[in-house]
Copies of this chain bind each other. A is one copy, B any other.
Amino acid sequence: MKPDKMKNLKVGIIQESFSKDQKENIEKIIAHIEKLAADKIELVLLSELHSIPYFCQTENVDHFELAEPIPGPITKKLSEVALQCQVVIVSSIFERRAPGIYHNTAVVFEKNGDIAGIYRKMHIPDDPGFYEKFYFTPGDLGFKPVQTSVGSLGVLVCWDQWFPEAARLMALNGADLLLYPTAIGWDIHEKNREENARQHEAWEIIQRSHSIANGLPVLVCNRVGTEMSEDGKNGIEFWGSSFIAGQQGELLVKAPMDKPSIIAYEIDLLKTETVRRIWPYLRDRRIDAYQGLLQRYLD
Contact = CB atoms under 8 A, between A and B. Distances in A.
A125 B285 CA distance: 10
B164 A286 contact: no
Contacts of A287: 293-296
Interface in A246-299: 248-250, 278-282, 284-287, 289-299
B173 A138 contact: no
Interface in A164-204: 164-166, 168-169, 172-174, 198-199, 201-202
B198 A163 contact: no
Interface string A122-141: 11110100000000001000
Nearest to A288: B294
B202 A248 contact: yes
Nearest to A207: B209
A284 B172 contact: no
A164 B168 contact: yes
A198 to B, nearest CB: 5
Contacts of A286: 122-123, 138, 163, 165-166
A296 B285 contact: yes
A297 B284 contact: no
A50 interface: no
A71 interface: no
Contacts of A205: 205, 208-209, 212, 249
A206 interface: yes
A255 to B, nearest CB: 20
A213 B122 contact: no
Contacts of A202: 212, 248-250
Interface of A: 122-125, 127, 138, 142-143, 159, 162-166, 168-169, 172-174, 198-199, 201-202, 205-206, 208-209, 212-213, 248-250, 278-282, 284-287, 289-299
Given A169-B289, A169-B293, A169-B298, 12 more contacts: A127-B280, A143-B292, A163-B281, A165-B290, A165-B293, A169-B292, A174-B299, A202-B248, A205-B205, A206-B249, A209-B209, A287-B295
The 10 closest A-B pairs by CB, nearest first: A209-B209, A164-B164, A172-B298, A198-B248, A202-B212, A173-B298, A202-B249, A206-B212, A123-B284, A198-B250
12 contacts: A127-B280, A142-B292, A162-B212, A163-B281, A164-B209, A169-B289, A201-B250, A205-B212, A206-B249, A287-B293, A290-B293, A294-B294
